């Protein structure tokens, strides 16, 4: 699914951009959870979300918070990758994601 750039506000506020992105991600997770759970699990595997954390979320999270919690796990993992690339990388910025 391509993200339409019109969904993102033209602001410099990182918090607003983060919230908009998070909301888009939550909607996509809800769609996949409803229509194609296998694909959602594949995406989570590709993003390298911890299986342990994923199982905890699936067992302990109320259904109404499932998508937002999964979105948080995805964003957390992507931030970890960025930090790791900064720390151990060659100095070149590589903003490609694994999905």
pTM: 0.75
The answer to whether position 38 is within a domain reads: yes
The answer to whether position 77 is within a domain reads: yes
**Quick one: pLDDT at residue 93?**
59
**Quick one: pLDDT at residue 85?**
86
The answer to whether position 96 is within a domain reads: no
The answer to whether position 45 is within a domain reads: yes
Question: Domain containing 47: what range?
Answer: 10-82
Q: Report how far Cα 36 is from the mean position of its chain's Cα atoms.
A: 17
The answer to whether position 91 is within a domain reads: no
Q: What is the pLDDT along the chain (99 residues), one digit of tens a residue?
A: 455 656 555 667 778 888 888 999 999 999 999 999 999 999 999 999 999 999 998 899 999 999 999 999 999 999 999 898 888 876 665 556 555
Name the domain count of the chain: 1
**Quick one: pLDDT at residue 90?**
66
**Residue 20 · residue 8 · CB < 8 Å:** yes
The answer to whether position 18 is within a domain reads: yes
């Amino acid at each position: 699914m391509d993200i339409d750039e019109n969904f993102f506000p033209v602001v410099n506020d990182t918090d607003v951009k983060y919230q908009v992105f998070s909301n888009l991600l939550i909607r996509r997770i809800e769609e996949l959870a409803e229509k194609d759970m296998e694909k959602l699990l594949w995406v989570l595997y590709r993003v390298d979300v911890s299986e342990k954390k994923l199982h905890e979320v699936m067992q302990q999270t109320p259904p109404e918070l499932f998508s937002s919690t999964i979105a948080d796990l995805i964003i957390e993992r992507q931030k970890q990758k960025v930090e790791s690339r900064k720390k151990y990388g060659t100095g070149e910025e590589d903003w490609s994601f694994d999905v």
